Structures are given as C-alpha cells and as structure tokens.
Amino acid sequence: MASVTAPVGRRERNKQVKLERITAAARELFAEHGVDDVTTQQIAEKADIGAGTLFLYAKTKGELLLLVQNSAYADALEEGRAGAASLPDVLDAVTAIVRPVVHCNRIQIDNGRTYLRELVFGDPEEPHHRDALTLTLQTEAAVADVLRRDDRLGEREAATLARVISAIMFVTMAATANISRTVDELVQEIRDHVGVLLPR
Amino acid sequence: MASVTAPVGRRERNKQVKLERITAAARELFAEHGVDDVTTQQIAEKADIGAGTLFLYAKTKGELLLLVQNSAYADALEEGRAGAASLPDVLDAVTAIVRPVVHCNRIQIDNGRTYLRELVFGDPEEPHHRDALTLTLQTEAAVADVLRRDDRLGEREAATLARVISAIMFVTMAATANISRTVDELVQEIRDHVGVLLPR
DNA sequence: CAACTTTACTGAGTCGACTCATAATTGAGT
DNA sequence: ACTCAATTATGAGTCGACTCAGTAAAGTTG
C-alpha cells in the first residue's frame, strides 16, 4: 500500500492509525460480503470506533468505498508497472498494466460497479475522490511510459494514445458494470482494441 | 407525451390512470425541488396514493426518476425530429435534435446527473430502464435519418456516425455531470465535435 | 501543571427509502 | 347475484445511512 501522508504529533498519528483500521475493516467486509450487504455499523464495530466517527474519515459510504478501492488500486498499479518493465513487447507491457487494474475492480463485481459509479458521479471535491482521479491519471502515465519505448511514437502521440487506452479501459468496465464477465475476458477485449491502435 | 400502452379492462385503465398521476406528481416535484429534496412520501401524497403503492409502479426512487425523465425525453425527441425536418443543413439538423435532448436532461442539473447515473448503473432489466435505453436508440436513429440526406454517406457510414454522435452526447453530459454549464454551452460543444466528423 | 482552546470521538436520535402482512377491488365462473 | 381466486392498494413498521449535541483527548500557554 502506497502511503503518502506525513507523521507529526500524537494526534496525527492516532488519526493515521484509525484511518488504517477503518480501511482494513472496510476492505475485508466489502470483499467478503459486497458493499450493499455491509452496514456502516459493522465496519465501525470491526474497526473498533464509534458509528459516527466513520463519517469523519469518509463523508459517505460511497467515499468509504473509494478509500478502500484506492488502496487496492495503488497496489495494482505498482504491480502492473513492475510487470511491464520486464516485458519487451509493447502490447504485452500495456496488458501487464491493464490486467491488475481491471482485476482489482472486479474482486466483487458489484463493488466494481459501485466504485465506477462513485468515480463518475460522486463529489469530485472530496479527498478520496481526488485520490481516485489521480490514480487514473497515474495509470495513464504508466501506459504512456511504455508506449514511448516505440520510437515511431512521438511524445504527443504516446500521450494521446495513452489517454485513448485509458478511455477504452474505463468504457469497457463501465459498459459491463452490470454483466458477469471474467477478468480474463475483459483484459483480452481491451488488449484486442489496443492491438488495433498500436503502429504495426 | 408518447404513450405506448393498450387499454383493456377497468383494472388496466385504473392502473394507467395511477401511473399517470404518479408521473405527473413526480415530474412537478422533481422539477421544482430536485430529486434529493423530494421524498417518496410527498410524491405519493401529491399523487393521492398510499406510500407503498408507489413502489408497485417503480421499484426504487431511481426508477421513478427514469419514468419521469423518459416522458420528458420522449417529448424532446419528438420536438427535435420536427425541428430537424425543416432544416436543410445537416449540421443544423443534427443540432436541432441534440438541443432538446440535452435540455430535458438539464432542467435541474442534479436531476440530469442522477438520471445518467441510473441509466448507466441501474438494473437494465427494469421496465423504465429499458424504456430509457430505447429512447437513446431512437435518438440515434433520428440522427442517422438526418445523416442519410448527405449522399456521400452510405448506410453503414451514417449508422456508425450516428452512434459516434450519440456517444459524444452521452460523454459530454456525463463528463459535465458535476459541473454547471448552460445548455447552450453543451450544445455548442457537441456541435463543434460533430462538425469535425461530418464530411466536408 | 492548571487553565484554557482546539480538535476529535461518540452513540442516541432523525429521516427517508423500502417491505410486508392485511385489506380492498376486480373479473371469471356458475 | 354470489363465490372465489387473482390482483392491487395500503400504511405501519423496519432498517440503515447519516447528524448533532455533548464529552473527551490533545495541544498550548503562562
């Protein structure tokens, strides 16, 4: 998990600890039962905090899901970057980034759907929401890095193509938000589209 | 308003009447106060039915919004088709269809956002949901009809281009779901994109 | 360290979407 | 007209997300 925050007084440290307890509790419960079948009370109980305290760390249950998925997403992106580094073929390398990202949004299909819904329609001013958008851009940047290896692609072409791939990932996941598809099927579908777009 | 249902016994007629009362009540209240500031109780009261009865006509409050917006959407599409018929220029004609459709999803910006959210993430098996998807396809068909006037565009080209325009409308509205933009600004933006795509 | 300010925590309470057991209403069969 | 079996309506009740007034824990100052 990629932590970004800085430590200071006891207050800050306590806050950090609680945030992590909440994240862990929510992640486990969401993964096991699905977002809709977990109450905020249960999460609070598991995290050993008061029911109201939860809402000091995430304004809504939806934001809480963003919080949880973000931490999984950050891990997935790291994994994808590492995998891509050792793959010479550009299409393989892009796929290596795509797979874990798709995977972490499909641990529970309904959770993935709810996550995307929050991402698109939640309040973009909320901190966890901003984090989510940042991760999206970081994914795009990772893809662009891979694309730049192909010297037929200039800086601009790589950036645009990366955004297009990012859009395809998003649309593929959103369009299937209600449908049971395996991660492999989704990844293959995205890979096919990307294959068409890359220079031959 | 484009009604589709057939009349039969008293039972069916009563049902129809109630559905219309509900739709009218919800439409007024949503338009005046916004979806989030209207309770299902208020709607039931205004429609003069029991609180539970509402949920026999729409499984969730979200479905209720689809029900309402669909009837406005159907009107808007009719208006757009009529307007397009008298405009010789293809770009103007497409814009004539686009404008009322965008408009009816922006009467209240939050309603538009909630509508799109339901459309993408709601249960596609629900009847009102299917109606909404049908309207989207009908809009696409109306655009395709206009495009076919240009004889440089074959049947396939017109169909594909119509879908692309439909996608642009959707994405433009979704991407600005959280942002205050006037209808005119959105329409202009869409028109610009379409202008680029049409053959010159 | 005592007095005081600021920040964080708490859980009982609110509010509203949705359910469900019960009661009407309808239409078919006789 | 009179069963009787659907079908439809009802509203009190449930359940859970979120709030808020009161309390506790840091931090700060002299």
Whole-number pLDDT of residue A109: 67
Closest-approach residue (CA) in chain B for A174? B120
Query: For residue A200, what pLDDT band results from cuts at 50, 70 and 90?
Result: confident
Q: Give the residue from B109, B86, B108 showing the smallest Cα distance to B97.
A: B86
Selected for mutation to probe chain B from A172, A173, A178, A179 (highest B CB count within 10 Å) is A178
Distance CA B48, CA A35 (A): 35
**Any idea which of A67-81, A98-112, B80-94 has the lowest mean pLDDT?**
A98-112
DSSP type of residue B125: T
Distance CA B101, CA B186 (A): 11
Chain B contact set for A123 (CB, 8 A): 178
What percentage of residues in chain A have a pLDDT greater than 70? 93
Closest-approach residue (CA) in chain A for B118? A117
Query: For residue A3, what pLDDT band results from cuts at 50, 70 and 90?
Result: very low
Closest-approach residue (CA) in chain A for B110? A121
Section A116-133 average pLDDT? 84
Structure tokens at B55: 């949920």
A166-180 as b/e: b if 16+ CB within 10 A: bebbeebbbebbeee
Q: Do B121 and A123 touch (CB under 8 A)?
A: no
Whole-number pLDDT of residue A181: 84
Dihedral angle at the C-alpha atoms of A18, A24, A26, A28, nearest 10 degrees? -160
Distance CA A157, CA A161 (A): 6
Selected for mutation to probe chain A from B120, B123, B125, B171 (highest A CB count within 10 Å) is B120
Q: Å from A50 to nearest chain B CA? A: 27
Nearest by CB to residue A177, choosing from B114, B120, B178, is B120
CB within 8 A of A161, min separation 6: which ones?
Answer: A144, A147, A153, A197, A198
What percentage of residues in chain A have a pLDDT greater than 90? 60
Question: Max Cα separation, chain B?
Answer: 58
**Domains of chain B: residue spans and CATH:** 8-57 (1.10.10.60), 60-197 (1.10.357.10)
Interface of B with A (CB under 8 A): 113-114, 116-117, 120-121, 123-124, 174, 177-178
Q: Give the residue from A97, A45, A48 showing the smallest Cα distance to A73.
A: A97
State chain A's mean pLDDT as an integer. Answer: 89
What percentage of residues in chain B have a pLDDT greater than 70? 94
Distance CA A128, CA A119 (A): 10
* pLDDT tens-digit map of A140-191: 999 999 999 999 999 888 988 888 888 888 878 876 766 778 999 999 989 9
- Strand C neighbours among B 8-27, CB < 7 A: 9-11, 14
State chain B's mean pLDDT as an integer. Answer: 89
Distance CA B131, CA B174 (A): 19
Model-wide pTM > 0.85: no
- Nucleotide D16's nearest residue (CA vs C1') is A39
* pLDDT tens-digit map of A17-51: 999 999 999 999 999 999 999 999 999 999 999 99
Distance CA A91, CA A194 (A): 7
Whole-number pLDDT of residue B110: 74
Q: Å from B166 to nearest chain A CA? A: 14
How many CA atoms are closer than 13 Å to the CA of B20, on its beta-carbon side?
11
Phi, psi of A39 (to 5 degrees): -95, 155
Q: Do B177 and A120 touch (CB under 8 A)?
A: yes
Distance of CA A116 to the CA centre of its chain: 9
Distance CA A49, CA A51 (A): 7
Query: For residue A2, what pLDDT band results from cuts at 50, 70 and 90?
Result: very low
Chain D bases having any atom below 7 Å from a protein CB: 7-13, 15-21, 26-28
